[in-house]
Amino acid sequence: MGSELVIFWFRNDLRLGDNLALVEACGAAGRVLPVYCHDPAAEASTRWGFARRGPHRRALLAAALADLDQTLRARESRLLQLRGVPGAVLPALARALGAERVVCEAIAAPEEEDEVAALRAAGLRVKTVWQSSLLDPAGLPFAVAHLPKVFTAFRQVVESAGVLPAAPLAAPEALPPCPPLASLDEALIAGCGDRSEPVVEAGAERFEEASFPWWQPAFAGGERAALAHVARYFAGDLPRHYKATRNGLSGVDFSSKLSPWLAQGALSPRVALAALRRHEAEQGASDGTYWLWFELLWRDYFRFLHLQHGRRLYRARGLNEEAPMPAHDPAAFAAWCEGRTGHAFIDGGMRELAATGWLSNRMRQVVASYLIYDLGCDWRAGAAWFEAQLVDYDVYSNQGNWLYIAGRGTDPRGGRRFDPDKQAATYDADGAYRARWAEPGRRAGD
């Protein structure tokens, strides 16, 4: 081990366990400085007119960073939080400390790739490590450029070839020491402490029926809460019933609720799968446990789609050259965001989302379809609203699901329209969901 100082840049991998990029950074360096960048762009307005990262996501992120700092400090390291565009603050930090190398996870989305390109343009050596999928893309029975066009074909090839993920890596017991930071320019590190919002307290009182109550310790951001949740979820028989309950709309137990931790990288999918396999060994495999694996494969599919198509997934037409350019109606879009379209089921969903940062998979499909097919709006505006609001916002899964519903992904069957009346009759037959979230005269948050 040399004396080289390496900057380890945490991105959507806010954990120490099963973090291949971190292992890579620690292996070669004499000193490692763990860093997180708060890019002001996350708080700036999008082209659609709202802040890019809303209060729920900010609070969950703050909890995850606080947790990460504590686990690093237990290993005599620490998390340095910087405020600024990574392409500017990381080179400035490197210059101040005499570092030349940055190691981080690879993210195959355009803006995240541009961030890495900016570091390289500033003269840094950057090593990126792919680690956010369950399966290693290099271990698939096809080159990622030949990813099957439909999910079912992908799953069948994976299953028939018996592709399995590697076992998760243990968290390092010790990290190479941090360099002294006393000489750092205060301006570089100012204002990056706990950035959670007062909504944490307000939410706790108002939305006790939230399906992901992120203000409660059991649902807090960060690796320790993630591992505790995984242990709790897989200890009981909820996984066995997952297939039957997964289309539920409300409650903490109808689906696994792994997604917020997977999205921030506090939980690695390989750790989640290992817990699922342990559960099967102890309590038996079932339709429910198979379906959890099935859904984790969907998550991978959208990641591999990004590796295959990259920026093309971000065009208005997506991958569908024949699709018309999306129409847009700003007033209808604003009504959708605020839950005042006049359709109680849709409004209930949109108010739940704005109030809690959570929406079930079923409601995500229904409201996305309504925006595109009933209100005639641009699917990219909807994706941006979800990005701002969802506590489990994940660039790959969000983009992939919106493209799929809009008929602009790889699926040759075209888009998916969900009839909102039929959906309400099937999934909210007693009207309890609409009564809870879209009661006349009651706005979420009242």
Comparison of 8 and 48: residue with beta carbon closer to ligand FAD? 48
Judged by CB, which is closer to ligand FAD: 8, or 304?
Answer: 304
Per CB under 6 A, the list member of 18, 223, 352, 394 interacting with ligand FAD is: 394
Task: For 287-338, give the DSSP string.
Answer: HHHHHHHHHHHHHHHHHHHHHHHGGGGGSTTTT-TTSPPPP--HHHHHHHHH
Residues 6+ apart with CB under 8 A from 30: 1, 2, 3, 4, 5, 176
Q: How far is the CB of 440 from ligand FAD (least distance, A)?
A: 27
Using the rule CB under 6 A, is 364 a contact of ligand FAD?
A: yes
Q: Please select the residue that binds ligand FAD; options are 132, 308, 320, 365, rule is CB under 6 A.
A: 365
When binding is defined by CB under 6 A, the residue of 229, 257, 279, 351 that contacts ligand FAD is 257
Q: Between residues 234 and 302, which has the closer beta carbon with respect to ligand FAD? A: 302
Position 14 contacts ligand FAD (CB under 6 A): no
Count of residues touching ligand FAD (by CB under 6 A): 28
Within 237-256, the residues that bind ligand FAD by CB under 6 A are 246, 255-256
Q: Which amino acid is at 120?
A: R
Query: Are the C-beta atoms of 134 and 273 separated by less than 8 Å?
Result: yes
How many other CB atoms sit within 10 Å of the CB of residue 297?
Answer: 18
Cβ of residue 229: shortest distance to ligand FAD, in angstroms?
10
Cβ proximity to ligand FAD, 394 vs 411, nearer residue: 394
Task: Fill in the DSSP letter of residue 171.
Answer: P
Single out the segment in contact with ligand FAD by CB under 6 A; choices: 7-15, 29-37, 133-141, 399-407.
Answer: 399-407
DSSP string, 227-272: HHHHHHHHHSSHHHHHHHHTT--SSSSSS---HHHHHHTSS-HHHH
Question: Does residue number 133 form part of the binding site for ligand FAD (CB under 6 A)?
Answer: no
Q: Cβ 124 to ligand FAD, closest distance in Å?
A: 30
CB of 296 to ligand FAD, least distance (A): 5
- Rounded CA-CA distance 129/253 in Å is 34
| Near ligand FAD in 258-277, by CB under 6 A | 258-259, 262-263
Are 41 and 52 a contacting pair, CB within 8 Å?
yes
Q: Between 216 and 361, name the residue whose CB sits nearer to ligand FAD.
A: 361
167: three-class secondary structure by DSSP: coil
275-304: which residues touch ligand FAD (CB under 6 A)?
292, 295-296, 298-299, 302
**Min. distance of Cβ 166 from ligand FAD in angstroms?**
19
CA 150 to chain centroid, in Å, comes to 22
Report which of 321, 71, 45 is spatially closest to residue 173, judged by C-alpha positions. 71
CB of 249 to ligand FAD, least distance (A): 11
Distance, CA of 82 to CA of 302 (rounded, Å): 30
Rounded to a whole number of angstroms, the minimum distance from the CB of residue 362 to ligand FAD is: 8
134: which residues sit within 8 A by CB, 6+ positions away?
A: 165, 269, 270, 273, 296, 297, 299, 300
Token match 């006790």: residue?
208
403 interacts with ligand FAD by CB under 6 A: no
Whether the Cβ atoms of residue 32 and residue 176 lie closer than 8 Å to each other: yes
Q: At closest approach, how far in Å is the CB of 101 from ligand FAD?
A: 31
Least CB distance from residue 207 to ligand FAD, whole Å?
17
CA distance to 208, 213, 244, 428, 437, per residue, from 202 (Å): 11, 12, 33, 27, 17
Question: Is residue 366 within 8 Å of residue 346, measured between CB atoms?
Answer: yes
- Minimum CB separation of residue 392 from ligand FAD in Å reads 4
Using CB under 6 A, which of 148, 361, 439, 443 touches ligand FAD?
Answer: 361
Quick one: which of 19, 131, 398, 410 contacts ligand FAD (CB under 6 A)?
Answer: 398
Based on the shown chain and the rule CB under 6 A, indicate whether residue 392 belongs to the binding site for ligand FAD: yes
- The binding site for ligand FAD (CB under 6 A) comprises 246, 255-259, 262-263, 292, 295-296, 298-299, 302, 361, 364-365, 368, 386, 390, 392-394, 397-398, 401-402, 405
